Amino acid sequence: MKRFIMGTSLTAAMLLAGCTEESASTKKAETTSATEVEKKEEKENGAKDAPVKKEETPKVEKSEFGTKVNHFTNKKLNISTNLGPIIFKINKVQTSDFKPSKEYLDMFDSKEKLTLIVFEVEAENTSDATINFHPNQAKLTTNTAEQIDASMVLSADVGGEYIGKVKKKGTVIFIASAAPNKITDVKFIVDGPNDETFETLAERYTVEIPTK
């Protein structure tokens, strides 16, 4: 099954060996030359012009599913909690405007425009037992008075059985009605895990997350 991927693609860091090795005389000459040019320009123009601050344009992502315009992204949430034997983390959140392509309108209840709220989550079973945990069945409440169930169709397969010491990582996706600029904070709510006899091992977990 095809799934959405949160955020922009990661690019590899480039290590440029040897470019930092310059002689002291070369550096000094370049520094002197640059200083002389700056002084000459200041004398001719009176003063340096203040740098113009450029406004960042929203990130637009297009795919076969539709067009997504990112509104808010936080890649450093660093939320972590222990739910019984499960270590649960919420690493990232992103809100965006989304216009589905005609071929996929049915997946979005025929809505031509909607808001996506995407979380990157991670769960780890620290025990040898089989544990049931379902972050892809979480709920979300918003400051715009919406209560939303996670889309199990769009979200990654990060729920179900954790058979022994395993980890699962992926996106949990919610579809909201309010515009992303109106959604300033949300509450992510997930039921605690249970064991093979369905005994609850931790209480329901709720965490408030700003989205502005």
Q: What is the pLDDT of residue 26?
A: 41
Domains plus CATH for the chain?
A: 62-210 (2.60.40.4170)
Of 208, 197, 140, nearest to 173 by C-alpha is 140
Per-residue pLDDT of 47-88, as tens digits, reads 445 455 444 567 788 888 899 999 999 999 999 999 999 999
Residue 135 burial by Cβ neighbours in a 10 Å radius (0-12, 13-18, 19+): buried
What percentage of the chain has pLDDT greater than the value 70? 73
Per-residue pLDDT of 147-190, as tens digits, reads 999 999 999 999 999 999 999 999 999 999 999 999 999 999 99
Tell me the C-alpha distance between 177 and 95, whole Å. 12
Give how far Cα 58 sits from Cα of 55, 61, 77, 96, Å.
9, 10, 21, 10
Per-residue pLDDT of 108-117, as tens digits, reads 888 899 999 9
Tell me the average pLDDT of the chain. 81
The band of 11, judged by pLDDT with boundaries at 50, 70 and 90, is very low
Q: What is the pLDDT of residue 38?
A: 55
